[in-house]
Every structure is written in structure tokens, then in C-alpha cells.
Amino acid sequence: MLRNIPENHPRAKSLQIRELLVDGFRSGIVVEEGLIAHGRGEAFDYLIGEISTEQALKAMKSAVALMILAERPVISVNGNTTCLCAKEVVKLAELTSARIEVNLFYRTYEREVAIERLLKANGAKEVYGVGSRASATIPELMSDRRRVDPDGIYTADVVLVPLEDGDRTEALVKMKKKVIAIDLNLLSRTSQKATVTIVDNVVRAMPKMVQLAKQYAHLQESKLQKLAYGFDNTKNLEKSLQYILKGLKSRD
Ligand code: ATP
Ligand code: MG
């Protein structure tokens, strides 16, 4: 149940997101550490003015085109992502023929099942990576994030990893996969290592990516390729940093 947050409260949207996460925590989907990780995200969101920047939109376009062009795209979800955007995850998966896989840093069977249940309540037909299905291992990775589904992330060519940690991003890139990250912290190792980094809040990025996937459904392959590969992640991150610095300077 969402607590009573006045609609005209200047921080209403941000407070509503917090309440959603607290409810997700109470229902066993989100872990304590996930609440803290959200706080780090919020701090960066403040710096970008809580909007989807031009750079974020460019990255989203490349990301969605990559997913449509992929042979085996997978959306990797954790507790926070499912709690905040289960509906959009399912929709984007449908539109890009992607599989959805549960992948957790703090893995328990109960939590995997709770996440699977919420995804299915939002229309997911199949959810990968739950229980014994996560039987393959990402090399060189020590955390529980290494356990993946042989029919999901392990054999994927493009993986969307909203709210990821840097280690696994790097390990997935080493496995020659294209990794799309959504991370408000443009300085994180995840952001630096991913193939495409969307510096935006998942809450804003996911619905926009669903819209783009609808728009791109009938786009010619050559146009999709241009969108997918005509993108420079290093340059884009640099521009995002400049955007933040300019915003801070203008407050002098
Ligand atoms: P790295 O290993 O990549 O340097 P980390 O593993 O220390 O980073 P985590 O603590 O795992 O980072 O947190 C995941 C990331 O998700 C954080 O960088 C945080 O900024 C970001 N984040 C949290 N909530 C959101 C959100 N709602 N939208 C987008 N990004 C978010
Ligand atoms: Mg980390």
C-alpha cells in the first residue's frame, strides 16, 4: 500500500518510487542493499535534473535497435528493476523477442520465485534463470551473479542489464556479448564497461524504450543498423558528464 503522498508535493514522484521499493522490500522482492543502491541512483538523478537527457535518448535508440537486431536478446532483471518496472520489462521483451532472466546478487530461491511471480502477473509467459535453471557459470565471476541460464544469458548475444554491477558487465563483455546498461551513475564501472550505457532512471527509460521498440518494429534493417552501430558510448558518457558539470556551474 502506498502511503499518502500529496500529489502537489514537490518531490511526489521521487517519494512514490521510494514507497514502491519499500513495498517491494516488504513483499520479498527487494533486498535492503537494493534500497541503498537506489539512494546512490537518486543522488545522480538530482545531478541530471531528473529528466531523460538528449544523450540518454540517443543511447536508448541504439539499445533498442541492438535488441531488435539481436538473435538471442535477454533482459536480465533484479529485484529493484522488477519492482519498479515489471510491466515495461514484459512489454519490451515481447516487442524485441527477448527472454527475461532473473539474475540476483543476493540470490535466494524465495526471492527468485517472488520476482518470477510478479513478472508473470504482468504477462510474462516464461521466466529464465529461476532455481536449477541457472546451471551455467559466467567465467571469472565470484558473486552469485555468475549463475545464469544456459538458454538465457549464457547463450545471449545482447543482454540488457538495468541496475547492474561492474564485475558482471565486464565478464559479459569478455564473453563477447553486447551489454546495454541502464545506470544513473555514469561514473560506475558498469557504465564505463557496457557497450551502450543509458544514463537515466529505469523508471523513465523503460517506458521510452517500449515506445521506441513499437516505432522500430517495421524499420528497415539498414536503418536499424545505423541506429545500433552509429553510436559511440565513450563520447556519449563524456557528453553526459559535461551536461552535469554545466548544470552545476550554472548554479554559481
Ligand atoms: P559498479 O560496480 O558498476 O561500479 P556498483 O556495483 O557499486 O557499481 P550497485 O551498488 O550495484 O553499484 O548499484 C547499482 C547502480 O544502479 C548504482 O550505480 C546506482 O547509481 C544505479 N541505480 C540505482 N537505482 C537506479 C534507478 N532507479 N535507475 C537507474 N540507475 C539506478
Ligand atoms: Mg559492484
Does residue 124 have a pLDDT over 70?
A: yes
Cell of residue 205, nine digits: 527509460
Going by pLDDT thresholds of 50, 70 and 90, the confidence category of residue 11 is confident
Does residue 28 have a pLDDT over 80?
A: yes
Which atom of ligand 1 lies nearest, measured to the CA of 183?
30
Identity (one letter) of the amino acid at 251?
Answer: R
pLDDT digits (tens, 9 = 90+) for 127-139: 999 999 999 999 8
Q: Annotate the chain with DSSP letters as a single string.
A: ------TT-TTHHHHHHHHHHHHHHHTTSS-HHHHHHHHHHHHHHHHTTSS--HHHHHHHHHHHHHHHH-SSEEEEE-HHHHHHHHHHHHHHHHHHT-EEEE--SS--HHHHHHHHHHHHHTT-S--BS-GGG--EE-TT--SGGGEE-TTTGGG-SEEEEET--HHHHHHHHHTT-EEEEE-S-TTSHHHHHSSEEE-S-HHHHHHHHHHHHHHHTT--HHHHHHHHHS--HHHHHHHHHHHHHHHHHTT-
What is the percentage of the chain residues whose pLDDT exceeds 70? 98
Does residue 1 have a pLDDT over 80?
A: no
Q: Write phi, then psi, for 223 (nearest 5 degrees).
A: -70, -40
The predicted pLDDT at position 18 comes to 95
Does residue 103 have a pLDDT over 70?
A: yes
Does residue 73 have a pLDDT over 80?
A: yes
> What is the arithmetic mean of pLDDT over 89-107?
96
The predicted pLDDT at position 2 comes to 56
> What is the arithmetic mean of pLDDT over 60-71?
98
Which atom of ligand 1 lies nearest, measured to the CA of 44?
20
> What is the arithmetic mean of pLDDT over 95-121?
96
What is the percentage of the chain residues whose pLDDT exceeds 90? 88
Pocket of ligand 1 (CB under 6 A): 37-38, 40-41, 44, 163, 165-166, 182-185, 188-190, 201-203
> What is the arithmetic mean of pLDDT over 13-23?
93
> What is the arithmetic mean of pLDDT over 227-249?
97
> What is the arithmetic mean of pLDDT over 147-151?
96
Q: How much distance in Å is there from the Cα of 103 to the middle of ligand 1?
A: 15
Separation of alpha carbons 52 and 216, rounded Å? 19
DSSP state of 196: E
Q: How much distance in Å is there from the Cα of 221 to the middle of ligand 1?
A: 33
Q: How much distance in Å is there from the Cα of 224 to the middle of ligand 2?
A: 32
